[in-house]
């Protein structure tokens, strides 16, 4: 039986459109920290998980998963949670920071994969210079018309 080999820096945690989304451990750590921050702020505000669930339209179990970093809801959830727990924008700002880090990680991963893929021996030019080389930036039509 073949052993499953997994990069220590990347983990698959959730699905989007049936495709596993791969997240770096750093991003997963930030998501867990955000969930822990939510739990702390919710408790400090005296809000039960069930009450936060009602206000955000999530179940109490989902709130538990979010606080543990196993579920990562949309910005609307974090906006409502921030208001409910009276966090003055702290939860929302941290959510935005996590999403920014996640996006940077995805871009870095795409660049790494692109630079490691063969280019058929041809140099790859940026789109802007390829278009300016043609003059108008518009691809020529077949037959030269």
pLDDT tens digit sequence for 41-70:
999 999 999 999 999 999 999 999 999 999
Tell me the pLDDT tens digit for each residue of 5-39.
333 344 444 444 433 456 778 889 999 999 999 99
Q: What is the pLDDT of residue 49?
A: 98
What is the phi/psi pair of residue 50, to 5°?
A: -65, -40
Tell me the pLDDT tens digit for each residue of 74-133.
999 999 999 999 999 999 999 999 999 999 888 988 898 888 776 555 565 666 654 444
Q: What is the pLDDT of residue 8?
A: 37
Q: What is the pLDDT of residue 70?
A: 94
Q: What is the pLDDT of residue 5?
A: 37
Q: What is the pLDDT of residue 116?
A: 77
Q: What is the pLDDT of residue 140?
A: 54
Q: What is the pLDDT of residue 17?
A: 43
22 closest CA partner among 124, 145, 113: 113
């Amino acid at each position: 039986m073949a052993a499953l080999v997994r990069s220590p820096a990347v983990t698959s945690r959730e699905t989007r459109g049936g495709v596993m989304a791969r997240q770096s451990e750093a991003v997963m750590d930030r998501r867990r920290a955000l969930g822990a921050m939510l739990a702390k702020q919710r408790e400090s505000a005296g809000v039960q998980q069930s009450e936060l669930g009602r206000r955000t339209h999530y179940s109490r179990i989902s709130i538990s998963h979010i606080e543990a970093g196993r579920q990562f809801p949309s910005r609307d959830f974090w906006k409502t949670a921030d208001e409910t727990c009276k966090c003055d924008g702290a939860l929302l700002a941290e959510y935005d920071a996590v999403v920014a880090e996640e996006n940077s990680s995805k871009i870095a991963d795409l660049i790494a994969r692109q630079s490691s893929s063969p280019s058929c021996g041809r140099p790859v030019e940026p789109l802007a210079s390829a278009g300016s080389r043609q003059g108008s930036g518009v691809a020529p039509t077949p037959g030269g018309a």
